[in-house]
Structure 1
Amino acid sequence: MSSTVDAGKTIAGRKRNIVSDIIGLLLAVLVAAASVQDSAAGSRLIDQAAAERSSVRKV
């Protein structure tokens, strides 16, 4: 994965996005380039978690 920069937040490298349950246990993790928008990464991650676990649902 190449190193990139998030234009809005000036974060170089990679962003980590997580989905956790109510007590903080990890359900899904996505590591993406810093240039990937948070909304795009979050949507992809929620879709993945909902597909893998019946207890996760999009509202």
Structure 2
Amino acid sequence: MENPTATELVEELDRVTVQRFNLRNRHASALAKLMEEREDLRGTYAFADLVDDSLRWSA
């Protein structure tokens, strides 16, 4: 895109937003599955614990 139009820019931003949303959901899902399978991991990484707890509360 040499000189993108406003519509093209909006479409690109929408595409990137959807990609980020999907990636975030995949990572959260994988983390929740891992934490469920491996309870010994609890307490080793505070952020992972926080995400896991957040997912449990929002379900």
The structure with the greater share of residues assigned to strand is 1
Normalising to structure 2: TM-score of the pair? 0.36
More helix by share: 2
Q: Which has the larger radius of gyration?
A: 2
